[in-house]
Structure 1
Amino acid sequence: MSVTESNGLRVTSMFAPTNSFKVPPVSVLESCSVLQKVRYKRFTNLISKNVDAKYDTGYLKYGFVEIEHRGEVLPQCMVCMKTLSNSAMKPSLLKRHLETNHPTKKDQDLSYFQRLAEKAKQQRIDKTGAVYQSSSGNVKASFEVSLLVAQNMKAHTVAESLIMPAAKIVIRNVIGVEAEAKLSSVSLSNNTVKRRIEEMLIDIADQIVAAVRSSKYGFAIQLDESTDVTNCAQLLVHVRYTQQDKVNTELRLSQNLSGTTKGVDIFNVLNDFFKRNELEWGKLVGCTTDGAPAMLGRKSGFQAHAKAVSPNVIFVHCFIHRFALSAKVLLPNLLACLNRVVKMVNAVKTSALNTRLLKLLCEDLGSQHTCLLYYTEVRWLSRGNATRRLFELKEELDVFFKQKGHEFQKDFEDKMFIVSLAYLSDIFGVINHLNLSIQGTACTVTQFISRLRAFVRKLELWSNNVKNKRYGMFELLSNLPGGYNGQSDDEILCHLTVLKAELTHYFPDVDCCPYITNPFSVDPADLPVGTGEQEQLIDIQADDTTQAMHKEYYPTVFWLNMASYPTLAGRAIPQLLIFPSTWECEQGFSLMMNIKPKSRNRLTSPGHDFLCAVSKVVPRIDRLVEGKQIQIAH
């Protein structure tokens, strides 16, 4: 860049930075030639276009205040409300506008323009105006009410048909009619609530995706597919990831599958989701599904396609599903007893009259319960609930069936049937207790392994107790009227042995890193050499602080605080992230029935409401409100 000086006038090219320009004295300008003056004028015009002028409070005497538009400060006339460009932010131009366009106002004092400015502030739509403050409150209220509608899984019309009228009634009677009128400016129409929920869902999804991307130790997923009341296939995907010093579990995908539900279809949906949100398959540490061939098929199932793009991912067949399959095994006599129980329950429950008569009989006898419970094979806990309830009402049912003259009365006179019923109620109760203990969002693979090992040891202990004629571990069996004399010991021993064999068959590969649950009980010499695990484990075992933390925290929290031991934490935390079951998905399908019942069967895609309802992430409503353009009523 060349700089030319002539007669003290410094002229720079158009590429010069604006801060290098210095205004010459007037005497120098007067001594310049005509050509130099023209060049100087052009250059100053160019400079004035590139530099934003700033508002001065003294401009109010010309009738102008400042407003902000797209990040630029502009002058606005308080008389005609006309907005000028930033380049007009000069006293001479502002004064000329006042004298030319409003000659009758040029002699007004400053207080007059101050009153106009205050009035205009009430009508201004930028963030400093009262209109914005009021309208933003209305929009925020609309968002928060829409979030409540989604969280309570109600129809969108409930906001306008119930919530708004109820709010007006409360406000009118508690505060007054004037306050009630302000509620009319809050938009809660069906379409508005739908848009608000969709916008909050996008914000929630952005937060979850950002957290999953930044998860230091990768992430794990569980997925399952089921059909709703209209036979639409719904795919749910939950994700578990680390965020700072905690582990979060969130529903990340609720997708309607319009066509087939093969393994390749499910993989394509999930792969498109990964690409769209820039998630890496390489960071996926574990995937938990049910045992359907479409999921776990090694040739054409979802597992085969996922292994092709992420070979190191660990696939887990839902532990609860496997445990339920292993617990289904029954010997012929026990199975016959269970079938007899099902027939008794159905004989009563399928008849409305029998149901009412049994209820009246139980009330007259002062029974603890007044009805039986259905047994459904797909509901794994119903076996224990149905058998125990029937056992507790056996005396009432005996009276009931005798009054009816039904053949079931003979079963309650059969000692072997009562013994088998008591044993089934006891063992099913223990199985249900273990099933419930491994449900929930905080359950990990290591917790299930420890409880499964404990249950297997209990089976061995109970077998020895039965051989020694000790039956105290079976509450109902040991407290039978007249006592239990061991006539079914062989059958009980055989069932306990078969149950243990089934558990071993369905869980042959249950193993995990040895130091996850208790790093202080592991010998460092048992770990691989050259990986750094031996040395880091010795450091942990020698640190008194880590010992105190291990006693206070759960394994997941403990290892998240062991970031100073990266090798050990890098192996332990990914295994703790893996879901042991598809419990969250199964619970999600149950909740989806509330959003899409038979009365709303035309709702093809309930995913927006569903994700907002079950997500623990709070939408950033204030940020959404700021992004809204405030509309002025005409």
Structure 2
Amino acid sequence: MAEKKRKLDHRQFQDNWTKEHGFVEQKDCAVCAFCCESVVCRTSSVQRRFQTKHQSKFKISEEKGEAIKKAISGFKKQTGILSQAVRMKSKATECSYKIGQCVALNGKPFTDGEYIKETFLSGAEVLFRDLQNKDIILSRIREIPVSARSAERRISDLAENVTTKQTIGLKQSHVFSVALDENTDVNDASRLAVLARYHENNHIYEESCCLLPLHDTTKAEDILCAFTGYFSKQDIDLNKLFCVTTDGAAAMIDKKKGFVKLLENHVGCKLLSFYRRAYVQRPHL
């Protein structure tokens, strides 16, 4: 019964429905060009819709044929205008993402998007002055959403997309390595920077993975909790980790209670570990 019902609900659109009843195909449905209502692709449904709603308007067949042609032409023109508007809006949104990317890459405030748009408009007035479609170009520039709130959403979406792709790469990679550095930011808050190196699609990627806050202390246990918590949240298997690079702080490299030793105990195997010594410039004698 389920298979029979599924076959009935997914019949193909028939071309004669357009000529006889004024229906057009749209997204696996039959849409009436007169009232823009959709019905399932079934002859009985199409006939019933036309007979109950529109057939009484026509006295002779010539009037019916002419009215159907006019309705279909108007429907196609309307949908064409709507499709064009959607495409234009999509391009404006894409351009908004490009501007947001430039703002993020250059470390500028979100409000600079409006400044970029204003500059773009001022230059376009001169650059496209001799073109016939100058007004269309300027109107499209004005439609670009670049408010501070829009820039924030665009940059957040881009960052989320990068994180998603990176997480997929780390999950699919057979092994990966990490480099960690604990430091303080301009607000004197402790942060743990994590970089990951992994292999995907015949390419080796070395990217910033995350910047984790260390709220309380910066002991090895706190660093381990923040580090493992992030990878657990992303559902990344730490058993694929084979190499860790840290700074030379005691909390990182202590042989008994350091971060590397605690991480080895957590994953249950020996890790290849490196650390860099802090470079101190000696005064000239």
Q: TM-score, length-normalised on structure 1?
A: 0.40
- C-alpha distance in 2, partners of 1:101/1:89? 18
Query: Over residues 213-269 of structure 1, what are the superposed CA-to-partner deviations in whole Å (9 max), with x where a residue is unaligned?
Result: 2223x1110011111111122221001112343422111112233332222222112
Counterparts in 2 of 1:182 and 1:230: CA distance versus 1, 3 Å: same
Alignment of 1:434-513 (within 5 A): none
Counterparts in 2 of 1:48 and 1:266: CA distance versus 1, 3 Å: closer
Task: Give the equivalent residue in structure 2 for 1:565.
Answer: none
Of the three residues 29, 36, 53, the one matched with 2:11 is 53
SS of residue matched to 2:39: coil
Q: Which letter does structure 1 place at the counterpart of 2:140?
A: K
Counterparts in 2 of 1:98 and 1:251: CA distance versus 1, 3 Å: same
Task: Give the equivalent residue in structure 2 for 1:170.
Answer: 123
- C-alpha distance in 1, partners of 2:147/2:215? 29
Task: Give the equivalent residue in structure 2 for 1:255.
Answer: 212
Alignment of 1:307-326 (within 5 A): 307-310=264-267, 311-318=269-276, 321=277, 324=279
Query: Over residues 401-439 of structure 1, what are the superposed CA-to-partner deviations in whole Å (9 max), with x where a residue is unaligned?
Result: xxxxxxxxxxxxxxxxxxxx6xxxxxxxxxxxxxxxxxx
Task: Give the equivalent residue in structure 2 for 1:140.
Answer: 94
Q: Does 1:158 align with 2:112?
A: yes
Counterparts in 2 of 1:258 and 1:281: CA distance versus 1, 3 Å: same
Counterparts in 2 of 1:164 and 1:57: CA distance versus 1, 3 Å: farther
SS of residue matched to 2:66: coil
Alignment of 1:159-238 (within 5 A): 159-160=113-114, 162-175=115-128, 176-216=134-174, 218-238=175-195
How far off is 1:133 after superposition? 1.4
Stretches of structure 2 that go unaligned for 5 or more consecutive residues are: 129-133
How far off is 1:146 after superposition? 0.8
- C-alpha distance in 1, partners of 2:211/2:45? 58
Task: Give the equivalent residue in structure 2 for 1:113.
Answer: 71
Query: Over residues 334-354 of structure 1, what are the superposed CA-to-partner deviations in whole Å (9 max), with x where a residue is unaligned?
Result: xxxxxxxxxxxxxxxxxxxxx
How far off is 1:296 after superposition? 1.9
CA contact (8 A) 1:65 1:117 kept: no
CA contact (8 A) 2:183 2:190 kept: yes
Counterparts in 2 of 1:257 and 1:316: CA distance versus 1, 3 Å: same
How far off is 1:89 after superposition? 7.6
How far off is 1:177 after superposition? 3.2
SS of residue matched to 1:273: helix
Q: Which letter does structure 2 place at the counterpart of 1:166?
A: T
Give aligned-pair identity as a percent: 21
Task: Give the equivalent residue in structure 2 for 1:76.
Answer: 31
- C-alpha distance in 1, partners of 2:44/2:242? 60
Query: Over residues 196-225 of structure 1, what are the superposed CA-to-partner deviations in whole Å (9 max), with x where a residue is unaligned?
Result: 111111211121122222223x11100111
Counterparts in 2 of 1:134 and 1:191: CA distance versus 1, 3 Å: same
Query: Whose strand fraction is larger, Structure 1's or Structure 2's?
Result: 2
Task: Give the equivalent residue in structure 1 for 2:24.
Answer: 65
Q: Which letter does structure 2 place at the counterpart of 1:64?
A: F
Task: Tell me which stretches of 4 or more aligned residues in structure 1 moved more than 6 Å.
Answer: none
Counterparts in 2 of 1:53 and 1:244: CA distance versus 1, 3 Å: closer
Task: Give the equivalent residue in structure 2 for 1:366.
Answer: none
CA contact (8 A) 1:172 1:180 kept: yes
Q: CA RMSD in A?
A: 2.7
How far off is 1:97 after superposition? 4.9
CA contact (8 A) 1:267 1:306 kept: yes
Query: Over residues 458-490 of structure 1, what are the superposed CA-to-partner deviations in whole Å (9 max), with x where a residue is unaligned?
Result: xxxxxxxxxxxxxxxxxxxxxxxxxxxxxxxxx
- C-alpha distance in 2, partners of 1:50/1:301? 67
How far off is 1:79 after superposition? 2.7
Of the three residues 200, 209, 223, the one matched with 1:266 is 223
CA contact (8 A) 1:53 1:89 kept: no
- C-alpha distance in 1, partners of 2:65/2:180? 76
How far off is 1:109 after superposition? 4.7
CA contact (8 A) 1:54 1:89 kept: no
CA contact (8 A) 1:172 1:179 kept: no
How far off is 1:110 after superposition? 4.8
Q: Which letter does structure 2 place at the counterpart of 1:137?
A: K
Query: Over residues 290-346 of structure 1, what are the superposed CA-to-partner deviations in whole Å (9 max), with x where a residue is unaligned?
Result: 11122223343322320112222122121xx26x3xxxxxxxxxxxxxxxxxxxxxx
How far off is 1:52 after superposition? 1.3
Counterparts in 2 of 1:50 and 1:183: CA distance versus 1, 3 Å: same
SS of residue matched to 1:300: coil
Q: Which letter does structure 1 place at the counterpart of 2:89?
A: S
- C-alpha distance in 2, partners of 1:174/1:74? 47
Of the three residues 199, 215, 223, the one matched with 1:242 is 199
Counterparts in 2 of 1:143 and 1:58: CA distance versus 1, 3 Å: farther
Counterparts in 2 of 1:91 and 1:147: CA distance versus 1, 3 Å: same
Query: Over residues 338-390 of structure 1, what are the superposed CA-to-partner deviations in whole Å (9 max), with x where a residue is unaligned?
Result: xxxxxxxxxxxxxxxxxxxxxxxxxxxxxxxxxxxxxxx5xx4xx5xx86xxx
- C-alpha distance in 2, partners of 1:86/1:172? 51
Counterparts in 2 of 1:103 and 1:109: CA distance versus 1, 3 Å: closer
SS of residue matched to 1:108: helix
Task: Give the equivalent residue in structure 1 for 2:131.
Answer: none
- C-alpha distance in 2, partners of 1:251/1:157? 26
- C-alpha distance in 1, partners of 2:41/2:85? 24
* Equivalences, count: 275
- C-alpha distance in 2, partners of 1:304/1:113? 76
Q: Which letter does structure 2 place at the counterpart of 1:290?
A: D
Query: Whose helix fraction is larger, Structure 1's or Structure 2's?
Result: 1
How far off is 1:48 after superposition? 7.0
Task: Give the equivalent residue in structure 2 for 1:364.
Answer: none
SS of residue matched to 2:218: coil
SS of residue matched to 1:173: helix
How far off is 1:271 after superposition? 1.0
CA contact (8 A) 2:196 2:207 kept: yes
CA contact (8 A) 2:219 2:251 kept: yes
Q: Does 1:96 align with 2:51?
A: yes
- C-alpha distance in 2, partners of 1:91/1:99? 12
- C-alpha distance in 2, partners of 1:88/1:268? 64
